[in-house]
Structure 1
């Protein structure tokens, strides 16, 4: 017997969708700044590949450390107020970039990244289940795809804006060009690069504080979830839900390969001497936008969420193999895809890493509704567990950096094969499991 029924926001779904869409744009922009920050800080702080990827580690590890505490906060203050707190947390992290830029201390950058990640943890813990539960579960992937479209479009813009505002006249800088300078020239250019962070991060912090205030006084209604049918289910452990546990693993692996595709493309490009390496993440994000647009058209009209997830995993497997064997001298693939439009061509390996964005696009929106199905008012805690899966973005890129240093940059992409293999298993079977055997 249900003790409370679920209620959709009285204002319908349009206003909540617009407000949550704004939040998805914000954390897309903040998240995918990492793709530009990693090669940038590699230069400014004189880092190896694995050290540079600690930028991603410190950002995404916050999702493990803070997800469960943030779910407690969510239960106490509600979805709307939790989102406000998330925006404030991100703003505080952005402010810490100012002393980090002046000091050139890599540790301070890492602390700032952790604080930004903490703010995003509570923001995502609140906003993802909100968008899942605001309408019919059959179209949840469509709603998440709309949010993902905004998120990845912001991710497309972020490296371009970063390159324009932060690098300025040094927009073409890369690891090769810095290495060719004399010691005094290198010190002068690095100081100028670091100083370029101050104003953009100051403005971003002020904008986030303002948005937190606007959200606080907005008409966004809170979310009320239904109670489970029995007290035993309500009190039960989340470990009793295989679809959730396997979904957490799938998201862990997915976010890992997504971050590898988005954040290592700049490092690889910088190593190859590609101009504007800090903006290469925009190529990956552009392909993700195309993937989300496709998802809006085909789900659930032509394929369901599980089928879309399976197709994404298969494409990821194929592209991962292709990246390893691709020619880093030839630009034939990008020549065919966009060279005729006058857009700068890229080495084939870099182009294929960018296309991984297309394969990754529909994984997140498909896994969330499949994993949360049947959790009832345990949704907030289940969402926190799924958010912890984002820690794959902390662990797997560092593993990639280790493999790249001990083997070579291109061969390290082999590690993505087992990740996509598990995602395929979850799409075909894992999400259907309701009892542990």
Structure 2
């Protein structure tokens, strides 16, 4: 599907980069709104913490289930038609929010989220390797950082815009009434129905936008990134299958743990703020703060890579920084005042994690899919499948949070960053499995 080393003139890359930037903006728009959907559904559909995090599970499990079928689809119809198909699948998912809202049926919402995730899995299968190979591999992290800016800008806007549309200044009283169970029966159902139907307008507008952008893609001329990597010699010799590339397989797990840590720091932060006394209207700012920190990380990457620091060095710094902040979330003492609430310093450590997470994703991709030759297409699909880390870890966090408390739940971040440190310092260099077995034997 993708050519191994595409070296085009900057002018010929401009339109594809603009198109990819728009796609990554869309990724952020529909993905990071989950950070407010989770607490919103928790109230409107009367859910536990664990049940509310099924939003992330339904959305991101599509990456695990659909990435390889998506790669086969793109191989058959081409990247351009694949993008259109992905966008229109997302339209189908967002349209499902309308009947789900009218019936207040949480399973229908989850079905819509899974459909949106399926469309995204197709788009991610096209977009990520496209960005990686649309220029020198040494500056791939810089291009991914630019795409990350588009993604995180959308992520900052999405929860604030969505909250502005669906939340009212009087909702604090409504939420307290619902949580205290001071109303019941038909009166309570009427309040919940009115609350959940507020999603109809924003998701109808989103459906129209995605449909029109899919139509516009039809008229955009994209470079022909053909299957010439099938003839590459990189996959010859002792590399007989996709499984014979340890740095790829280990990189798949690195993506899994990275996106898991990232989504936990963003999608759970509203609930964590609510535990400190914030209402939903006030707490909605925290995902945007975390994503703003990610913007800082991306700007650092764009400025420093590769002129002042290699992408490998920045990758290592960020993994170590992420581990330090994870420990601080669990143990740091102290409070600051915000909106009249005593806010634990741990929530600011959680937000600062955005700086580190920004460059970890950009560091993993180039290291994991380089020199795969004819396996580039399948390897990219495996990497996209690993985004299902967003699906499983929030649910695990929710289970721990329900039993031991929201702050203790963040212990799941520790193993994520420990593995990322292993990959950043050693795992990406392993070309043969025997090197890994030798390391274990030496230990």
> What TM-score does the superposition give when structure 2 sets the normalisation length?
0.90
In structure 2, relative to structure 1, the CA distance for the partners of 1:379 and 1:32 (3 Å cut) is same
Per-residue deviation, 1:320: 0.8
Partner of 1:353: 350
Partner of 2:206: 204
Q: Which runs of 5+ in 2 are unaligned?
A: 435-443
Match of 1:238 among 239, 242, 257: 242
Per-residue deviation, 1:377: 3.2
Aligned residues: 425
The C-alpha deviation readout for 1:174-205, integer Å capped at 9, x for no partner, is 96564146215654432222111001101100
Give the whole-Å Cα distance in 1 for the aligned partners of 2:260 and 2:36: 17
Per-residue deviation, 1:239: 0.6
In structure 2, relative to structure 1, the CA distance for the partners of 1:284 and 1:173 (3 Å cut) is farther
Given that 2:29 and 2:158 are in contact with CA atoms closer than 8 Å, whether structure 1 keeps it comes out as yes
Partner of 2:290: 284
State the secondary structure of the residue aligned to 1:272: coil
The C-alpha deviation readout for 1:239-267, integer Å capped at 9, x for no partner, is 11111100000000011111100100012
Match of 2:268 among 264, 268, 277: 264
State the secondary structure of the residue aligned to 1:40: helix
State the secondary structure of the residue aligned to 2:96: helix
Given that 2:6 and 2:135 are in contact with CA atoms closer than 8 Å, whether structure 1 keeps it comes out as no
Give the whole-Å Cα distance in 2 for the aligned partners of 1:32 and 1:230: 37
Partner of 1:42: 42
Per-residue deviation, 1:96: 0.3
State the secondary structure of the residue aligned to 1:303: coil
Give the whole-Å Cα distance in 2 for the aligned partners of 1:168 and 1:233: 64
Partner of 1:145: 145
> What TM-score does the superposition give when structure 1 sets the normalisation length?
0.92
Give the whole-Å Cα distance in 2 for the aligned partners of 1:231 and 1:209: 39
Match of 1:330 among 306, 311, 335: 335
Give the whole-Å Cα distance in 2 for the aligned partners of 1:345 and 1:222: 56
In structure 2, relative to structure 1, the CA distance for the partners of 1:71 and 1:169 (3 Å cut) is same
Kindly report which structure 2 residues correspond to 1:49-68, keeping only aligned pairs within 5 A, or say none: 49-68=49-68
Given that 1:131 and 1:144 are in contact with CA atoms closer than 8 Å, whether structure 2 keeps it comes out as yes
Per-residue deviation, 1:217: 1.2
State the secondary structure of the residue aligned to 1:361: helix
Partner of 1:321: 327
Kindly report which structure 2 residues correspond to 1:12-161, keeping only aligned pairs within 5 A, or say none: 12-161=12-161
- Superposed CA RMSD: 2.3
In structure 2, relative to structure 1, the CA distance for the partners of 1:346 and 1:222 (3 Å cut) is farther
